Amino acid sequence: MTLKERFAGIIGWFSEHMPEADTELHFRTPYELLVAVMLSAQCTDKRVNLVTPALFERFPDPQRLAEATPDEVFEYIKSVSYPNAKADHLVAMAQRLVEAYGGRVPDTVEELTTLQGVGRKTANVIVSIVYGKPAMAVDTHVFRVAERIGLTTRSRNPLQTERALVKHIPAERLGRAHHWLILHGRYVCTARSPRCGACGIAPWCRQRQRELKAALKKEA
């Protein structure tokens, strides 16, 4: 199977069976999504969704968050992973957002990554979901799943994975493909016990095909 065939098969299956894949984070504004994505690093979306309602009620906009102290923010997010660091980052992010951008969440990766605690993955999520730009955010799920199923080969870091996926996935599908891979990694192609028997893209999965070939060889 060629790489082109693998991409075509996987994209085709997801397009048919998961046409409306989207983020599981709850948000109403670009500011809320930015905060939620920052909180989601090394943490589940479910946990983030539990803490953000009270957080957004107390700090409904960048200005209010910029005026807070990290200790105040910590009390609202202490159940997420790395709450001390995230509290520091959220306040510093909001301060720069207000000072440099008038409280408006930027629409470019370059500007977003000037904000404290905002890396390329978070920036790609924002420009994709909020502004509808073609971007591929690579988190741990995307990095792992893309390599396992064969969309990438020996990627050493998320940027390499991002570039490989952007090269082969049509621009208009990049944002949706990000969610396809995340949700697939979260619920089907899990890290420790992948549910290969329930996997719709198994016919194009490099790892699955290798396992089947090994099993046939062993039986022979």
Residues with a known catalytic role: 121, 139
Contact in structure between 25 and 45 (CB atoms under 8 Å): yes
Q: Which residue has the tokens 């980052």?
A: 89
* Amino acid in position 187: Y
* Amino acid in position 92: A
152 by Cβ neighbours in 10 Å (0-12 / 13-18 / 19+) ranks as buried
Q: Give the separation between CA 18 and CA 180, rounded to whole angstroms.
A: 7
* Amino acid in position 219: E
Task: Please work out, in degrees rounded to the nearest 5, the angle formed at the alpha carbon of residue 15 by the alpha carbons of 213 and 129.
Answer: 120
C-alpha R_g of the chain: 19
